[in-house]
Chain A
């Protein structure tokens, strides 16, 4: 199985900060990496697919990069509504998709 490791597990930041979350795969997954945002009591929402493609309707302050084993999600200027938990997911190992353990972004 491909293991996905996110860092940090939790992060404290302020409105307006630039924030980067890292996701590392246990083996190369090319660009088959997706990012989700989950707020308490809500279903996850897709933000970025295939490492760097912003889903339509997602604010441009979100961006993704990386390939192979190392990936990043960057929020350029944190807004109050961005405080949530973020998950990466590999979709390289079909059909055994795995998620990272999550990064909780707190005020």
Chain B
């Protein structure tokens, strides 16, 4: 089964660092870009950025550039989203999603989501 499995929920304090993960299985991980999408409580979907697992090339939305870092470990079939200094406004559900092959950048497989709560 093709799937993306994300790490569990996190509760952090403002200023702390965090890295969440997204592990792919059932397909050739390095063949498909991985995207990260934010959903704040009760709100819509926001594209944050993406990574090509074959070469670690990244693109970021200007809204998130400089505040998060996307990386990958090919040997573990895992992509990461990390923060060096969290803010309360980072409280949200974060999804990873695979770029569809031949699907014009549609996202065909999604992780189950990682809830990040930032509170003092």
Contacts and interface: CB of A to CB of B under 8 A. Distances in A.
Interface of A: 31-32, 34, 36, 38, 43-46, 49-50, 53, 55, 87, 89, 91, 94-102
Contacts of A94: 105
Interface residues of B, number: 24
A87 B45 CA distance: 8
Given A44-B45, A44-B95, A102-B44, A97 B110 contact: no
Main SS class of interface, A: loop
Interface string B84-107: 000000000001010010011111
A96 B49 CA distance: 8
Contacts of A45: 110
Contacts of A97: 35, 47, 105
Nearest to B96: A43
A46 B103 CA distance: 11
Interface string B33-57: 0010100000011110110000000
Given A43-B113, A44-B95, A96 B61 contact: yes
B59 interface: yes
A87 to B, nearest CB: 6
A34 B35 CA distance: 15
Contacts of A46: 100, 106-108
A43 B95 CA distance: 7
Contacts of B95: 43-44
Nearest to A48: B106
B106 A95 contact: no
B111 interface: yes
Contacts of A32: 104-105
Nearest to A32: B104
Contacts of A96: 47, 61-62
Could you say which of A97, A98, A102 has the most chain B C-beta atoms within 10 Å of its C-beta?
A: A97
Contacts of B49: 95
